[in-house]
Every structure is written in C-alpha cells, then in structure tokens.
Amino acid sequence: MVQSKNLFNNNWSFNNFYFEADFPLVELNFERKTIKLTTDIKIAIDNALNSERPFKELIKVFNTFGYLLSLKIILGQKLRRSCILQKELDLVDQQLEFEENYSSELDKLFILWKDQYGFDEEYLMSINGKVVRKNDIEKWLNEHLKQDLKLLRIIGQSELVPLYELFEEPVRGNIKSILGIDNLPKILMTGVVQMIKNVEYYNVDFPSHLESSNYHIFAKVTRSNKSSFDVIDKAVVKIRSSNRTGFLAIIEKFDEMNDLNAEHLQIMWVLIGFPDEINFYSPHTRELSILSIETQDVDIDKSSVLISAPEKLPEES
C-alpha cells in the first residue's frame, strides 16, 4: 500500500509504503458453543462484579485475558516491509494472490514496483523480526513453509467475539451493563438519612469518592414505622453542592411537617449515572432498573401536573 503525503514543501513528497506477503498454511475455525471458559477468568470476573468499582476491575480482567476472541485463525508465515519513498504518488492499495511459485512471482512484483513506485528495498522482515534479504527469499520459504507446527505463526484473525459474550446470563448482562454497552444510565447508589427534629439541612457523604460529579440525585421524604410506609409529598428535597464526595439535602416547606414525628421520617435518595464515568456501582442496586427518563415542561401556576407513564412497563413495576 502506498500513501502520498507531502511532509515538507511542494518540491519534496515523501510517501509511506507498506508491503506484506502472507503465506497461509492452516485455517482454524471454532464454534462458540464449544469454547469453555477457564476457572481463572470466571473467578476474576466474579471478583470484579462483586467490587464497588466494577468498571475498573473488569478492565483489569480484560487487560489480562483479552477483550476479543477470534473464531477464525490463520496460521502460517509472513514477510513485510515498511519504508518511505520520495516520489509523488496517489493512494494505492493492491492485493494479489499467488498459489504457487511464490519466489519468482515476488521477484516480478519487486521489479514492477521498482519501476512504478521506486520501491528498491534490499530486504524484508519476518513476523519474528528477522531480516530476510530478497536474494534469500526462496531459501527462507523452503525452510519456513514446511508442515512443522513449531514454525507456524498467527498471521490473520477474523470473526471476533467479545469475551463477555461467552458468559451465561445473568453474568453476561451484568458485564454489559457495567461496561455501558447499552449506553443507559444506572442506579449506582442509594441511601437513607434519618431526619432530626428542627433540622432542615443534611450533609450526605458517599461511602467512597467518585471519579466524576456528572450524576443526578433524586430524593424524597418518607415516613415509616413498624406498621406502615408512605411518601410525604408535601415535603420537597432540594439537592445542592453535589460533588465527588457527597451532597447537601435541603428540606423545603419544612414548617408544614411540624406535626410529624421526626423519628419516623427519613430522606431516601438515589444516585443515577454511568458506571464507567462514576466508577462506582453498588452491588445492591444492580437489580434495579430505570424505567424511563424524560423531560416535561411544567406550568408553575398549576397546583398539579399530569405525567404520562411509559407504555409497556414491566409487570410488577
């Protein structure tokens, strides 16, 4: 492949030239259902999912075991060469196939490219990084294209499958959710703050520092005792001063709750964001789903607002 690119001025043009000759000998094909995961990777994934910072832990696992698995692998040998040519050329991409007489066909190709592109390199590089001079290519081919498994190298891969796709549900779904494959926000954390009589400001600290403050907090005042639980709609919780360590919850219309016993009142809150950005995802909230996130204009002069529920909600939602 030749790519023309002027690096200095109009009088000089330097072009990146890459040559590769593949010599495939064996093609391996795998069926996904026959691939078995090792105990080590199962344990590593399980530990990552049980972490409160599962995104980074999953990345560590994939850095160790790999991100993709190839269902088709080509084994053989390869010769290649990259260089810079001083010649004005357009973008050229040539792919040629030779079924026999590799050495003589390559010689013809080198002569052609020398005339057309100025390619006159004296050697190529093997996949192991060894120098193979053009005059020794035939000898090198005779030595390395034998049916000897020790000489085979991976020269091509295709039909790539993400490693997480090999896991069964619900593990696969949990991995995809944490990695943000669906690109949807998640309920990353929840909390309950016990209210105190005559106190309307509550400073809430997260159990762990977050890596981003790009999240949303939703909170309500609730009342619970041994026999009942309900939401106090007349109390409004405003969230202020949110950062990576916590937030400030302010109770508005505080005076309207004077008749309520503070011992039975709590502030329940949820934090919504993306696991890969926040780098925190409580194991206790991963079964919770956000059914819908929408915006709606509200007329502040009206005492009530009608909000349409999303269609096709899951049962028991």
For residues 202 and 248, the answer to whether their CB atoms sit within 8 Å is yes
pLDDT of amino acid 9: 44
The pTM (predicted TM-score) of the whole model is 0.71
pLDDT of amino acid 12: 47
pLDDT of amino acid 165: 94
pLDDT of amino acid 8: 38
pLDDT of amino acid 4: 36
DSSP string, the chain: -EEEEEEEETTEEEEEEEEEEEEEEEEEE--GGG----HHHHHHHHHHHTSSSHHHHHHHHHHHH-SEEEEEEEEEEEEEEEEEEES----B------SS-HHHHHHHHHHHHHHHH----SEEEETTS-EEEGGGHHHHHHHHSSS-GGG-EEEEEEEEEEGGGGSPTTHHHHHHHHHTTT---EEEEEEEEE--TT--EEEEE-SS--S----EEEEEEEEE-SS-EEE-TT-EEEEES--SSEEEEEEESGGGGTTS-GGGEEEEEEEEE-HHHH----TTSTT------------TTSS----PPPSSPPTT-
Enumerate residue ranges in the chain where pLDDT < 50: 1-12, 91
pLDDT of amino acid 287: 87
Sorted by where each begins, the domain ranges of the chain are 2-36+67-160, 185-278
The architecture of the domain spanning 185-278 is Sandwich (2.60)
pLDDT of amino acid 5: 39
CA distance 317 to 310: 11
pLDDT of amino acid 10: 47
